[in-house]
Amino acid sequence: MHIVVCVKQVPDTKIIKINPKTNTLDRRSAPAILNPYDAHAVQEAVRLKSILGRGKISVLSMGPPQATEVIKKCIEIGADEGYLISDRAFAGADTLATSYALSKALEKIASVDPIDLVICGKHAIDGDTGQVGPGIARRLDIPPVTNVIEVSEVNSNDRTIVIKRKLSNGYELVQANMPCLLTVEKEINKIEYSPLSNMLKAARYKSHIWSVSDLGEVNITQLGLKGSPTVVGKMFTPPKLEGGKMLDGTSDEQVSQLMEVLLEQKELLNVK
């Protein structure tokens, strides 16, 4: 079974700081990391491979040349091969243009070694859109299953997979024919501590790097900024909310004022 995981290098939003004056990101402080959801996607591929006892895991990313760092990270987790598509022509892509470029690379990967399963993270933490995964599935014309919290069964014989998919108020059990595309939630697994051999392999690993010309027949107008229908119109600070009443005084006075307010709502409180 050939599993391809799509991953993205993102700034670590945990660490990134906002410049309070300009309201923009202070990128100095933010190291680039593997999108955390994508790490779980790779881990799930590793888990499936080890359950099936065979298979191959490739990872695919789009980004600047330094994005090979996140591919190394995926090799640490247990991926076998890594591909980076990197070209100025891809720059400025929105989700539509991104899914187009990635699907072209996936077609190229599949032409050598047919793909059974594509796994993506639920979304990237620098955009939070979650639109690229389903977009890739459409372009490859394979069924997408989003918000996956468990892969319950993989039947290599009849080429089906059974998945638990998170819903707004519960979950559903879905069976899908392979090849298909999954986007995974963090709770799908725990990132394992990789063996030392993976670390050595990753440190030595040289990713395949492809430019547009390596992707075969590509419609240039669908790539990058040109291929992106959405544009940022303006940035603005949202209208300030009015704000309420500040409770003054010592902390005892503040608390007793607050208690007055809360006791008006006492039917809502269930004091134990």
Task: Please report, as residue ranges, which positions from 115 to 174 form the binding site for other proteins (by CB under 8 A).
Answer: 123, 125-135, 137-139, 142-147, 162, 165-174
Residues 35, 90 contacting (CB under 8 angstroms): no
Q: How far is the CB of 45 from other proteins (least distance, A)?
A: 18
Residue entry with tokens 């077609």: 107
Angstrom CA distances, 39 to 3, 43, 72, 75, 91, stand at 14, 6, 12, 11, 24
Beta bridge mates, 60: 6, 83
8 near other proteins, judged by CB under 8 A: no
- CB nearer to other proteins: give 53 or 233: 233
144-155 and 160-167 beta bridge pairing:
antiparallel
Which positions from 175 to 214 touch other proteins by CB under 8 A, shown as an x/- string?
A: xxx--x-----xx-----xxxxx-xx-xxx----------
CB of 110 to other proteins, least distance (A): 17
Stretch that binds other proteins, among 45-53, 60-68, 212-220, 236-244 (CB under 8 A): 236-244
Tell whether residue 114 is a contact of other proteins (CB under 8 A): no
Query: Could you tell me the smallest distance in angstroms from the CB atom of residue 60 to other proteins?
Result: 18
Contact 39, 103 (CB under 8 A): no
Neighbours of 52 (CB within 10 A): 12
Is 135:99 a contact under the CB 8 Å cutoff? yes
- Interaction between residue 265 and other proteins (CB under 8 A): yes
Q: Residues 261, 128: contact at Cβ < 8 Å?
A: no
| Residue 48: CB minimum distance to other proteins, A | 18
- Among the listed ranges 17-25, 60-68, 108-116, 211-219, the one in contact with other proteins (CB under 8 A) is 17-25
- Please say which residue, 14 or 211, places its beta carbon nearer to other proteins: 14
Site for other proteins contains 98 (CB under 8 A): no
Q: Is 258 in the site for other proteins (CB under 8 A)?
A: yes
Tell the smallest beta-carbon distance from residue 255 to other proteins (Å): 4
Are 5 and 120 in contact by the 8 Å Cβ rule? The answer is: yes
- Identity at 11, one-letter amino acid code: P
Report how far Cα 123 is from the mean position of its chain's Cα atoms.
Answer: 4
